[in-house]
Amino acid sequence: MNLIVDVGNTRIKLAVFDKNRLLEIRIADSFTILETLKQLKLDYPKLNLAIVSSVGYLQDKVLQYLGLQFELTILDNNTKVPFTNLYATPKTLGIDRIALVCASVQQFSQKNVLIIDAGTCITYDFINKDNEYLGGAISPGVRMRYEALHNQTANLPLLETEMPIQIIGNSTIGSINSGIIYGVLNEIDGIIEQYSALYLDLTIILTGGDANFLSKQLKSSIFANSNFLLEGLNYILQHNTVE
């Protein structure tokens, strides 16, 4: 059985897989991660393989515990992956983006795939049907946009994420919600339209924390999968494990 540890910018996701079947997801933070790991080991005694993907901070004692209890893979830019990386600066490619591309290779092989991860940032990653990763784009995520408006101005409030009632905001709150949400939706739809003009047989994946919120509003036909990154990490772990 496989343990996936995904250390993000704001929280830590832990997922248990039995081969390709996702059994459970638990959420932790830097204060609760060690106890959560110990409990998972008790609940799933057959867990023996683990992979860590970290774009945030993970304490040394947590890594030590993982190294003692599991056959551990730490994802970095030298980890073996099942695609050709044509990024001009491959060593700078985020490991979360690597995992997403690996999930597309596993689930949508020999297809042109655009993966959109709507999380802290919104990332766009493209892999062609020849299994070549070409690159993509990075822009601010939904919450980052709310926080930027609040932090970079004197009087604009920090709001919770909310779908605007209409595109014409008739108050400051309505205007902020309209500007951010419709701005994100039109950005995503516009980028999909540009990729679709280049690749007529394009498959589009939407994932990340805001995937479910955004997917209902987008014009384009997409596959929404909030666990896509975890599935990609599980595939990388299997790809790097010698039977």
Binding region for substrate: 87, 94-97, 172
Helix (H, G, I), strand (E, B) or coil at 229: helix
Q: Are 126 and 78 in contact (CB under 8 A)?
A: no
Q: Which of 18, 29, 76, 96 is catalytic?
A: 96
Q: At what angle do helices 33-43 and 60-69 cross, to 10 degrees?
A: 10
Cα–Cα distance measured from residue 175 to residue 59, given in angstroms and rounded to the nearest whole number: 41
Q: Which residues of 98-129 are buried (b: 16+ CB within 10 A; e: fewer)?
A: bbbbbbbbbbbeebbbbbbbbbbbbbbbbbbe
Binding positions for K(+): 117
Cα torsion 16, 17, 23, 28 to 10°: value is 20
Establish whether 189 is a catalytic residue. Answer: no
Cα–Cα distance measured from residue 237 to residue 79, given in angstroms and rounded to the nearest whole number: 10
Q: Which tokens belong to 43?
A: 């609940």
Binding positions for ATP: 6-13, 120
Q: Which residues are known catalytic residues?
A: 96
